[in-house]
């Protein structure tokens, strides 16, 4: 019989992502629904304990949301049998040590990405969890959102025919912090603190590509720091030592080429902050986190290049919006549901620490490519590559 309540340690919950997406929009939202619905029709309720360094902040969050449990003593929480799951939302450099403690304590582990600052650390965590027999997961929120779920269904249906290429555009202007407050914390722009857009975003691009189109097999990238000086939360200028933009060409299994631009120094001229265009022999699609538009082969216009005359054709009007046939829900919340089912009733959850390690590996090799100016091959996965193989099989079937 499934337990009626599962205890969850939320470490780093006072941070932006930990508080908004994981506590408020996921764990508390699921509590309000009566818990996570299981396959037998019963529900398991979530009981969180808030963990962090600042007791006053934790107390205020607990008071605001009517929660009973909070502590600054992670070791004590890990030693308490009431808490079966450890969830990590710390800054990247603090994450591996805390996850190792959780694995040693026998807790199921659920963590934000990147799972570690280096591939060596990330794969070590994955192996430790496997050897200890603890269930584990890494946040893969993007593929749970409506736009990319629609894109994945298009791939699985064979809509594209043979997939030729993927183009991704991500980013927005992050203010420098002088005349307007920055929207991101200053540590994001300091390499010594684990910052950088490659380490932050390339783990996302890895799981998006391998779960929708196919595994990444090589990378050529250029990572740059466009804005060398920024102003921190105290109004003090600092040297931005981490990359704030990256431009990459990736080759996927099966010869599909992907171009992905990631930048915190770009002004938005697109419908969403991230968009992916997939082009195939039978059709194309443009997907963001929520919307997805398609243009099939038999509805494709026939442009003619003529630089001497203005082109009055409305190309955007020729695309068809894919309908929202499923209710729109928060992607973090949906993955929390899947992970809880994985812990409680052993439901499938392929987005594990090995998947997280593959994302860190792509980031690491992209930085190597940027430093050397060379294209870098990514070896085929030898350990637990289920999600990547599944993506390749889907793309192969579509082709």
* CATH number for position 92: 3.40.50.720
Q: What is the pLDDT of residues 127-156, one digit of tens each?
A: 999 999 999 999 999 999 999 999 999 999
Question: pTM of the entire structure?
Answer: 0.91
pLDDT at 366 over 60: yes
Which of 250, 264, 245, 140 lies closest to 198 in space, CA to CA? 245
Q: What is the pLDDT of residues 161-212, one digit of tens each?
A: 999 999 999 999 999 999 999 999 999 999 999 999 999 999 999 999 999 9
Question: What percent of the chain has pLDDT above 70?
Answer: 95
The predicted pLDDT at position 379 comes to 84
pLDDT at 396 over 80: no
Q: Which residues contact 102 (CB under 8 A, 6 or more apart)?
A: 9, 78, 86, 88, 109, 134
* CATH number for position 269: 3.30.360.10
Token pair of 244, please? Answer: 């704030």
Question: Is 42 found in the same domain as 87?
Answer: yes
The whole-number average pLDDT for the span 228-243 is 97
Instruction: Label residue 392 by pLDDT band (50, 70, 90).
Output: very low
Enter the DSSP assignment of 250.
Answer: E
pLDDT at 353 over 90: yes
Question: Is 253 found in the same domain as 381?
Answer: yes
DSSP 108-156: EEEEPSSSSSSHHHHHHHHHHHHHHT--EEE--GGGGSHHHHHHHHHHH
Question: Is 183 found in the same domain as 105?
Answer: no
Question: Is 210 found in the same domain as 155?
Answer: yes
Question: Is 108 found in the same domain as 212?
Answer: no
Work out the number of other CB atoms within 10 angstroms of the CB of residue 7.
18
The HSE-up count of residue 239 (CA atoms within 13 Å, CB side) is: 3
> What's the rounded Cα separation, in Å, for the pair 83 and 343?
12
> What's the rounded Cα separation, in Å, for the pair 72 and 74?
6
The whole-number average pLDDT for the span 247-273 is 97
Question: Is 317 found in the same domain as 200?
Answer: yes
pLDDT at 247 over 90: yes
Question: Is 88 found in the same domain as 219?
Answer: no
Q: What is the pLDDT of residues 210-230, one digit of tens each?
A: 999 999 999 999 999 999 999
The structural domain count of the chain equals 2
The whole-number average pLDDT for the span 99-105 is 98
Residue range of the domain that includes 64: 5-141+331-351
The predicted pLDDT at position 389 comes to 39
The predicted pLDDT at position 390 comes to 44
Work out the burial of residue 49: count CB atoms within 10 Å of its CB; fewer than 13 is exposed, 13-18 middle, 19 or more buried.
buried
Question: Is 154 found in the same domain as 101?
Answer: no
Which of 357, 13, 313, 288 lies closest to 142 in space, CA to CA? 288
Instruction: Label residue 2 by pLDDT band (50, 70, 90).
Output: low
Question: Is 293 found in the same domain as 251?
Answer: yes
Pick left, alpha or beta for residue 234 (phi over 0 → left; psi -120 to 50 → alpha; otherwise beta).
Answer: alpha
> What's the rounded Cα separation, in Å, for the pair 145 and 159?
20
Give the H or E element holding residue 257.
strand 257-263
Question: Is 237 found in the same domain as 288?
Answer: yes
Pick left, alpha or beta for residue 198 (phi over 0 → left; psi -120 to 50 → alpha; otherwise beta).
Answer: alpha
Question: Is 374 found in the same domain as 235?
Answer: yes
Q: How far is CA 158 from the centre of its chain?
A: 25
Q: How far is CA 109 from the centre of its chain?
A: 16
pLDDT at 371 over 80: yes
Instruction: Label residue 58 by pLDDT band (50, 70, 90).
Output: very high
Question: Is 59 found in the same domain as 159?
Answer: no
DSSP 67-78: --EEES-HHHHH
For residue 114, cis peptide bond before it (omega within 30 degrees of 0): yes
């Amino acid at each position: 019989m499934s337990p009626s309540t599962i205890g969850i340690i939320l470490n780093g919950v006072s941070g932006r992502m930990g508080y908004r997406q994981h506590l408020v929009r996921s764990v508390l939202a699921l509590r309000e629904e009566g818990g996570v619905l299981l396959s037998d029709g019963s529900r398991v309720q979530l009981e969180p304990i808030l963990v962090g360094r600042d007791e006053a902040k934790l107390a205020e969050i607990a008071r605001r949301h009517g929660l009973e449990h909070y502590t600054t003593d992670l070791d004590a929480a890990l030693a308490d049998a009431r808490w079966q799951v450890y969830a990590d939302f710390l800054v990247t450099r603090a994450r591996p040590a805390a996850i190792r403690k959780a694995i040693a304590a026998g807790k199921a582990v659920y963590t934000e990405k990147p799972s570690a600052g280096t591939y060596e650390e990330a794969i070590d965590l994955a192996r430790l969890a496997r050897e200890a027999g603890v269930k584990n997961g890494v946040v893969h929120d993007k593929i749970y959102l409506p736009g990319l779920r629609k894109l994945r269904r298009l791939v699985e249906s064979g809509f594209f025919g043979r997939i030729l290429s993927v183009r991704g555009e991500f980013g927005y202007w992050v203010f420098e912090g002088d005349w307007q407050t920055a929207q991101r914390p200053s540590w994001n722009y300091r390499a010594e603190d684990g910052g950088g857009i490659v380490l932050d975003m390339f783990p996302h691009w890895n799981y998006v590509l391998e779960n929708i189109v196919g595994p990444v097999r090589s990378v050529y990238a250029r990572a740059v720091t466009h804005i060398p000086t920024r102003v921190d939360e105290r109004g003090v200028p600092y040297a931005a030592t981490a990359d704030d933009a990256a431009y990459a060409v990736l080759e996927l299994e099966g010869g599909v080429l992907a171009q992905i631009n990631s930048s915190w120094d770009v002004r938005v001229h697109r419908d969403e902050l991230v968009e992916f265009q997939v082009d195939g022999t039978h059709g194309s699609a443009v997907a963001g986190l929520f919307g997805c538009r398609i243009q099939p082969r038999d509805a494709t216009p026939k442009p003619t290049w003529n630089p001497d005359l203005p082109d009055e054709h409305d190309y955007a009007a020729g695309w068809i919006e894919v309908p929202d046939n499923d209710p729109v829900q928060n992607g973090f919340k949906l993955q929390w549901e899947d992970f809880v089912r994985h812990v409680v009733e052993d439901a499938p959850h392929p987005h594990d620490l090995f998947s997280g390690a593959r994302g860190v590996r792509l980031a690491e090799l992209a930085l190597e490519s940027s430093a050397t100016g060379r294209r870098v091959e990514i070896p085929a996965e030898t350990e637990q590559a289920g999600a990547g193989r599944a993506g390749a099989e889907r793309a192969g079937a579509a082709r």
